[in-house]
Amino acid sequence: MAFITKNFDIKTAFMPQKSSANRFYAGVFRSAGANTRLAGRSAAAAITAAFFFCGLNSGAETFSYKHSQGDKFRILSEIQEEYLENGKVISNSQIHNRISTEVIEIKNEEAVHKALFQVIVSSQNSGGLKTFNIENEYTSYFNRDSRGKMTVSRKYAFPSVRNVPVFPARNVQEGETWRENGEEVHDMQGNFGLMDLLRIPFNAQYKYLGLQKWKGKDYPAFLITYKINQQVSDYFESAPHEYLSKNRLKKNTDKEITIASISGETNQTIFWDEQLGQAASSSGSFSLRFNMSNGVVHEFRSKENAEVIYSEKMNKDVLVADIEKELEKYGLSSSGVKKTEEGVSINIEDVQFEGESAVLRASEKQKLNKIIAILKKYSDRDILVAGHTADAGGSAESHINLSQERAQAVAGYLIQEKARPSGRIITKGYGAERPVANNATQEGREKNRRVEIIILEN
């Protein structure tokens, strides 16, 4: 497993108010079908029984991905990013990415992965506490073989760095180097004249560093470096004919600004877990420069740290039954619990806030205190707080914003009362998009005006 997934939200990245390009490090998975270069933080491991082979020759080792259907893991990353325009620093930002992955099938000796890529930004709620909110999320499917070679449909922008790492099919000595081809993919469709995903090939150099310390333990480590320097027009000339058309590159006008070329460098160290047979962690730096047709250069410089966490299988039926008993014991009959795709959801209907605000009423805090007592019994699982509103007039955007603010208010209270550390609770506002009852009635609107606290499986 190796991490590297850089992916910027290029469509808005050049706007000063949106300082950063959303960077995904496509996390190293230890299975034969992992994703590529995800900048992910904490994830205690999960893909298949992937393992690490020790070679027959003294001082030499062979590295390989392996996998098992049903393996689940997540990669969490923290990225410090600097955005520059013509060499001048415009802004700095901190980005968190979360990638939840499951091996859904073993096919032709490759692992088929389903992955959810989430861009998470931090903000302060009305009480001044820092919360982490899902800004964007993308689902992707990809295959990976035992050496690390990936197959990804052309319609997916993630993982954005592919075929990293790729191991040689032989023993590797400490200090030895090798080279393998990879690819970066950037989604700038509809901007700067581009009508397709931009694919940039590179040739990466690998060096086996031997054992290196990470969190006080020795791990086999690899240094991965590469550079890219791509003319955008060259990309269209070299792309497969069936994906090109005369409309792929919009006709330039005197007023139109396009990307002339893209260049950059990546330096990354991966720490390999011998027992898990995948990367345990990753750290490094990367830069990416967009050289525009008007002479302006937009540059992103980033440092990242990522870690992988395995997810133990969740027995959702047992968990639902246990939580139902707890809710009954605490007299929370209006709060329901159910299985969801992500895990197990505790539903709090008609959450009461002060006026049309996101400030929790005292009565709601009393209710949440009882739910916090339940959540603490499952402290090994992360939490998603999802906010929902009733459709009682107003714009879709206003509903989204209000539901997000209310989810943050609940999350902030959970953090304050130590249900979880702030980095293990994420929020998302769905507005009125997911009603569970008829908005035409008062009773229905009360049911729709809710917050769900989801105990996540992965």
Nearest to 38 by CA among 80, 73, 60, 7: 7
- Tokens 């893909």, located at residue: 47
Same-domain pairing of 160 and 177: yes
**Could you tell me which residue, 79 or 358, shows the higher pLDDT?**
79
pTM (2 d.p.): 0.78
CA dihedral angle for residue 139, residue 45, residue 104, residue 52, rounded to 10 degrees: 120
**Could you tell me which residue, 31 or 246, shows the higher pLDDT?**
246
Residue 180 has pLDDT above 70, yes or no: yes
Residue 29 has pLDDT above 50, yes or no: no
The CA distance from 299 to 84, in Å, is: 5
Residue 250 has pLDDT above 80, yes or no: no
Could you say which of 310, 336, 363 is where a domain stops? 310
Same-domain pairing of 141 and 168: yes
CATH number for the domain that contains residue 398: 3.30.1330.60
Q: Total domain count for the chain?
A: 2
Mean pLDDT of 118-138: 79
**Could you tell me which residue, 434 or 225, shows the higher pLDDT?**
225
Pairing between β-strand 425-429 and β-strand 130-144 as defined by DSSP bridges: parallel
Percent of the chain with pLDDT over 70: 78
Is 73 within the bounds of a domain?
yes
Residue 294 has pLDDT above 50, yes or no: yes
Same-domain pairing of 285 and 429: no
Could you say which of 310, 342, 369 is where a domain stops? 310
Same-domain pairing of 259 and 364: no
Domain span including residue 45: 10-310
Residue 279 has pLDDT above 90, yes or no: no
Residue 235 has pLDDT above 70, yes or no: no
Same-domain pairing of 97 and 227: yes
Mean pLDDT of 119-141: 81
144 falls in which pLDDT band (50, 70, 90)? very high
Is 2 within the bounds of a domain?
no
Q: What pLDDT is recorded for position 41? A: 26
441 falls in which pLDDT band (50, 70, 90)? confident
240 falls in which pLDDT band (50, 70, 90)? very low
Same-domain pairing of 323 and 305: no
**Residue 64 φ/ψ, nearest 5 degrees:** -155, 150
The CA distance from 60 to 230, in Å, is: 36
The CA distance from 265 to 183, in Å, is: 13
Mean pLDDT is highest, among 65-74, 245-254, 323-332, for 323-332
Is 24 within the bounds of a domain?
yes
Same-domain pairing of 321 and 187: no
Residue 56 has pLDDT above 70, yes or no: no
Mean pLDDT is highest, among 202-206, 229-233, 273-277, 348-352, for 202-206
Is 236 within the bounds of a domain?
yes
Is 188 within the bounds of a domain?
yes
Residue 66 has pLDDT above 90, yes or no: no
Mean pLDDT of 193-205: 85
Averaged pLDDT score across all residues of the chain: 79
Same-domain pairing of 305 and 324: no
- Structure confidence by residue, pLDDT tens digits, 405-423: 889 989 999 999 999 988 8
Could you say which of 281, 310, 339 is where a domain stops? 310
Residue 85 has pLDDT above 90, yes or no: yes
Same-domain pairing of 285 and 364: no
Residue 78 has pLDDT above 70, yes or no: yes
Is 3 within the bounds of a domain?
no
21 falls in which pLDDT band (50, 70, 90)? very low
Spell 303-328 as b/e; 16+ CB within 10 A means b.
ebbbbbbbbeebeeeebbebbeebbe
324 falls in which pLDDT band (50, 70, 90)? very high
Same-domain pairing of 340 and 409: yes
Pairing between β-strand 150-152 and β-strand 450-456 as defined by DSSP bridges: unpaired
The CA distance from 220 to 271, in Å, is: 6
Mean pLDDT of 248-265: 68
CA 72-22-196 angle, to 5 degrees, is 95
Q: What pLDDT is recorded for position 42? A: 29
Mean pLDDT of 201-213: 96
Same-domain pairing of 376 and 271: no
Q: What pLDDT is recorded for position 13? A: 45
Same-domain pairing of 304 and 366: no
